Structure 1
Amino acid sequence: MAQFRPAGFSDDDSDSDDYGFFEKPPRPYYPIEHNEKKKVEIKLQDAILNGNLEDVEEIISQDLHHGVNAKLDSGWTPLMHACFHAQDKIVKMLLDRGADPNLHADSMTSAMAACSNSSANDITIYNIMSYLIEKDCLLNIGDKYGQTPLMRAISNGRIAVVQLLLDKNVNLEMRDQQGWTAIFWAVHHKQPEIIEILIKHGARLNEVDRSSRTPLELANLHDFQDIVNIINKHLKKDDTLEDNDKDKYINSQVTSWHDFYPGLNKGQRPDYVSEIPHLLYGMNCERLTPLFINSGMDLRTFLLMEEQDMINLGIDMPYERQRLRQGLRNFHTRGWKLNAVAGLYARKNENYSIVDCLTTLGTHLQQMYILEATLQYTSREYNRIQNQIKYEPPDSPLLNKFKAAAKKLQTNINSIRRETKNMKKLLTKISKSNPPPADLIKEKTAQDIAISYVKEIVIVCSLGLLIYNAKTFVINMLRK
C-alpha cells in the first residue's frame, strides 16, 4: 500500500470515493463527425494564419460545412479570422465567394477584427478595409464595449485607415461604455496626427466622458504635452477668430424675426424647422441633419416620429434610431423651468422693455406648439401601456407618478394661459399708443393703392370747395 494514502482508503483508482459520496464525471464523448469537423476547422485556421490561399479555397469548397459563412467553434467566420490575421488576399477571395462582412461573434465584426490587428503593415489593413467597405460592411457600429472600427484603428495608429473611414462619413461622436469618442481614443494612445485629422473633420473638443473629463484634461492627465498644445491651439482658434472671419461669422448669424417665426406675418402657423438641427445636435445625431432638412419635415412631425417613420426617412442604422427615439423621449419628459412658462409674471417686480415682451410672447407661441406635440406623444404612449396599468391598484406608485406628472403638466398649461392673457392686455395698451414696427408694415395691395387715390381726390376736392366757398364769402363781405 502506498505510504501517502490515509489508512482505511483503497489505492484503486475508481469512479467513486471510498464512501460513495461522489463520482468522477464521465469523459466527454464526441462523435466521429464532431472530431472530423474539428480537424477541418483547425486545418482551415492554420491555412489562414499561414496565408495559404489555395488550401483555404480547397477546404471551403470541399470540406467545410455551410460554406464560406460557416461559423467555427470559436464563433468566428473564416472571414473574421482572415481579417484579424491580416490576410488580404484571402479576405478578397472570401468576399468574392459571398462571405458576409456583417456577420459577427459576440458583437465583433470583420471590420473590427481587421482594425484590431497591431502587427501587420498599414497597406495590408487599408486594403482589407477597402474590400470590406466595397461589400457594404457596417462602420457605425460598436462592440459590447461600445468600441467602433474607427476607435480600434485609432488605438493602433492606422492613419490611412482612419482617413479612409472618415471619407466614408463615419460618426465621429459615437461613444463607448466609458463615454469616449474617437478624439478621446486618439488622445489616450497619443496619436497627434490622427488628432489633427479628427479635428479637421469636426471632432468636438469640449465633450466630456463619464468621468466628466475633456480630451484636454485627459491629455494633461497623461502628461502628453504635445497633445495638450495641439488641443489648446484649436480651442484658441475657435475662441478668438480673426477680425474678418468674426465679421463674416456675425453677419452670417444676423437674422430677422421672420427666420424664427416663418409665415407668421402672412397669418400662417410657424413650423420651427430651424430648431430641428439644434435638437439633432443635442441628441448626438447631427449626421442626420441633411436627411431631415431635405425631407421638408416640420418640428411637430419630427417630435412625433416613430420607428417606421425613421426607416421610411432612410435611417437604416438601428443604433441611430434608438438614439433618436431616446432623445425624443427625453425631450418630451424633461421639465420646464418656471421662468420659461411664467414669463414676465416671474419678473413682475423688475423693469422690462418692449423687446422682453415680444421675446416672451414668441417663446410662449413656440411652447404651445411644442406642448401640443408633447400632449400627442403622451397620449400615444399612454394608449400603448393602458392595458398594462389597467389592473394597477389605486395606490400604485405608477399611478401616483402619472397623476403627479399630469398635475405638473396642467400647472404649466395654466401658467402659459395666465401669461398669455397678461401679454394680451399689455400689447393692447401698447398698440393703441404706438405705430406698428417697421418690419410689420406690409407692402400695399392694389386695393389699398386705389383707396388711397380716392382719399386724395376727395381731400383735394374738399379743399378746393372750401377755398371756393371762402373766396365767395370774402368777396361778399367786401361788397357790403
Structure 2
Amino acid sequence: MAISKGDKDAVEMLLDGGMDVDTKLGFGWSPLMCAVNVANFELAKLLLNRGANASLSKDHWTVLMASITASAREDQIASCVDLLLSRKADPNVADRSKTTCLMLAAREGYTKVINLLVSHGAELDSQDGMGFTALYVAVQHSQQEAVLKLLQLGADKSIKSNAGKSPMDLASSLKKTQMRRILSSTSHVATLQASGSVEENLSKFFKTNTEPPSSNESVAKMDEVELLLHGLELGHLADIMVEHDITWGYLVTMEEEDLQKMGVTDPSDQQKLLRAVKQMHLDQVDLETISQLGVEDASSEDLQSFLISLRKECCHLTEVIRDVNVRFPRHRSQLVFTLDPKKEAQAICNQVIIQTKDLQKEVVCLRNLLGEVSEAADGCGPPPAAPRSSRRSLSSVALSALGAAAVVLLLCRTARAQAVFS
C-alpha cells in the first residue's frame, strides 16, 4: 500500500523496522518490482540503496521487465530503466516465451528505453519462441519511431520468423505502406556514419533505396515531406500525404481547411504542421523596387513588410532552436553512437553564428540609414541615397543566415531520430 501510494516515509519506516527489502508481496513480486511498475524513481532508488536485488525475477519476469511494462510516461519509465541498468540489471534475460526487454520496449514504441537497453548490451537480433526479433515486433505493432531507432542501431531486417516472414514481408501483408518505406529506405543505416559528411549521411538515410521491395508494389523514396513529418514527430501522417500525392510545393500552400479535407483532423497536428511550414519560409521582397526610401508609399510598405517578416522568422527560429536545445540529449547513457563524429554540425553552427552577426550588422546599418532619412525629412532636405550594396546585402545576408539556421534545425531534428531527446 505504501508503494502504491508513493509513500516514501512509510517504506523507510517499514525497512527500518526490520522488513526484508526483498520480501515477497503480491504475485511474489519484490518491493522493487512493485516500485518500478508504477515508475516511482525515488522509491526504486531508496530500495536499491537499501540492498534490493535489481536482477531479481519471478517466474522469469524480471525487475527490468516490470519497469518497461509500467503504466506511465516513457520518460518516467526510462528513468527507472536507466537506474536499474546502472545497478547491473541484465537486459538480455528473457521470459518463458523468450521475449526480451528490448522486444517489450519495441512493442510499446519506447525509443528512449531502446537506446538505454542497447547502450547497456542488449542484443538487437535475439528471437523469441516464434522467431520474432525486436524489429519484427515493432513492425507488428506499428511503432514507426521504434523501427527507425532499431534500424539506426543496426538491427538486421533480413531475419525471418519461424513462419518464414521478414519484417518487410510482415509490413506488406499488413498493408503498412509507410513501414515498408522506412524498411526499404534504410538498408544500411548502421554504416552511414563511417564516411561522408553529415549532409550526405542524412540524404542517404532518408532517400536511398538500396534494396528492392519484396513484392511487386512500388515503394517510393522518402522525400522532403516525410523528412519534415518525422522531424515533427508526425510520421503517422505520412500515409495520408502519400495517398493524396502531396508534394513539398503543394504543402507550403495548404491551409487548415485543406488539411481537414485531406484527413488530418487532429487540431494539434494541423497547427504543428502549419507552424513548421511557416517557420521555414521567409516572405521575400524585391528590394530593387525600393528606389527611394520614404518617398513612395508602396516602397515604404514593402520595406516595412519585409522587416516584419524578418523579425517574425527570427523569432520562430529562436523558439525552434531553443526547443531543440531543450530536447537534446544531455547524458552519455542516452547515446549509443556519436551524433557528429567529424564535427560538421559544429562547423555549420559556427557559420550560422558568423552569419547572424553579419545580419545584425546589416540591420543596424539599415536602422542608421533610416534614422538619417528621418532627420533629413525633418530638415526638409533631400534624403541621402542609401548605398545600393547595403540594401541588397540585407536581403542576401538575412536569407543566408536563416537558410543556414534551417540546415542546423534539420540536422538537429534528424539527430532526434538518431538519439533520445528528453
TM-score category, normalised to shorter length: 0.3 to 0.5
TM-score (norm 2): 0.44
Structure number with larger C-alpha Rg: 1
